[in-house]
């Protein structure tokens, strides 16, 4: 009787082991699914950072501004007129918009310098997002840079070191100031154009009158010299030179071809003027008619003087017309 419970106990143990084997096989854990990386999300605000953590006074430092956004947005980055204080704008470099996996990246790097003495200097730049006819200004994150001081720090109670004086002048090479000279030349040209536009007609008229008067004085001097030589020598050559000079002068004064016309054509040109008709016909009779000048000395002198008076009248008329 004592062995019966022992046998029953072993049979129960074997049954439990048999029943537990399929359960363990059915409950084997499946491999965990691979975790997919979440797609990149756009930035809520632009991200700004300094490329270097520290800067010296007056040293160039680079500040980079990036903004990840949806491809449909139009984003405008700040230019040289943006508020860069306490920094000063030097230049910038930008990259074209790059779109990958449904996300656009805009990036711009600014070269700045600072002369402020704050130990930590911060900068926060905005970008403008265009939405139809409206625009939204979105400020980026605040970036900071540490100022490296080159002068040793002095205790508060210490006195400042004496300044070293150096008043020696350094020679400088003289340089030609092109902008000022170009501006002065442009001003002179504009002034000359204004003067010419305002007084050009009057100046041209005055110059023509001056040139006409000078030519008339020269003609009178030359004509008087030929007339004097003719009166002394009674030479037909001197008389012919005086008449040729008279024709050439009137042709130049009135801008015509008087010196190529015949006596009859000249008389007709001036409407049968008595002085011109008498003087030229007498000159033709003396020169081409083989008449000695001594035989008509008084008439020839009067004829040549009449031609001079006619030239004076034509000069006065042309001077008034000009």
pLDDT per position as a tens digit, 177-213: 899 999 999 999 999 999 888 888 888 888 888 888 8
Please list, residue by residue across 293-313, b when 16 or more beta carbons sit within 10 angstroms of its beta carbon and e when fewer do: beeeeeebeebbebbbebbee
d(CA 180, CA 178): 6
SS3 content of the chain, % helix, strand, coil (to 5): 50, 20, 30
- From first to last of the 322 residues of the chain, give the pLDDT tens digit: 444 455 555 555 555 555 554 444 333 333 433 333 344 577 788 999 999 999 999 999 999 999 998 888 889 999 999 999 999 999 999 899 999 888 999 999 999 999 998 999 999 999 999 887 888 899 999 999 999 988 777 777 777 778 778 778 888 888 888 999 999 999 999 999 998 888 888 888 888 888 888 999 999 999 999 888 888 888 888 888 888 999 999 998 888 888 888 888 888 888 888 888 888 888 888 777 766 656 667 788 888 888 999 999 999 888 877 6
- Domain residue limits, the chain: 47-147, 200-321
pTM of the model: 0.42
Looking at domain 47-147, its CATH architecture is Sandwich (2.60)
Query: How confident is the model over 291-321, as pLDDT tens digits?
Result: 665 666 778 888 888 899 999 999 988 887 7
């Amino acid at each position: 009787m004592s062995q019966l419970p022992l046998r029953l106990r072993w049979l129960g143990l074997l049954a439990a082991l048999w029943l537990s084997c399929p359960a363990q096989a059915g409950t084997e854990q499946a491999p965990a699914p691979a975790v997919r990386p979440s797609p990149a999300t756009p930035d809520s605000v632009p991200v700004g950072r300094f490329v270097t953590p520290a800067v010296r006074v007056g040293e160039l430092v680079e500040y980079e501004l990036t903004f990840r956004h949806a491809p449909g947005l139009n984003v405008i980055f700040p230019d040289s007129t943006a508020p860069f204080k306490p920094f000063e704008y030097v230049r910038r470099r930008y990259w074209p918009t790059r779109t990958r996996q449904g996300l656009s990246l805009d990036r711009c790097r600014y070269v700045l310098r600072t002369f402020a003495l704050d130990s930590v200097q911060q900068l926060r730049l905005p970008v403008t997002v265009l939405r139809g006819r409206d625009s939204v200004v979105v400020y980026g994150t605040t970036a900071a840079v540490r100022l490296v001081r080159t002068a040793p720090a002095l205790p508060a109670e210490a006195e400042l070191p004496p300044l070293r004086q150096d008043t020696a002048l350094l020679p400088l090479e003289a340089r030609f100031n092109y902008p000022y000279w170009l501006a002065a030349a442009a001003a002179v040209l504009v002034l000359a154009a204004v003067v010419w536009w305002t007084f050009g007609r009057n100046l041209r008229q005055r110059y023509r009158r001056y040139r006409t008067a000078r030519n008339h004085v020269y003609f009178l001097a030359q004509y008087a010299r030929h007339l004097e030589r003719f009166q002394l020598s009674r030479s037909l050559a001197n008389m012919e030179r005086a008449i040729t000079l008279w024709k050439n002068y009137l042709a130049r004064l009135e801008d015509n071809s008087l010196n190529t016309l015949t006596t009859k054509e000249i008389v007709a040109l001036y409407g049968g003027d008595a002085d011109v008709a008498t003087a030229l016909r007498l000159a033709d009779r003396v020169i081409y008619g083989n008449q000695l000048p001594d035989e008509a000395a008084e008439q020839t002198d009067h004829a040549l003087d009449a031609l001079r008076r006619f030239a004076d009248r034509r000069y006065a008329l042309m001077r008034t017309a000009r």
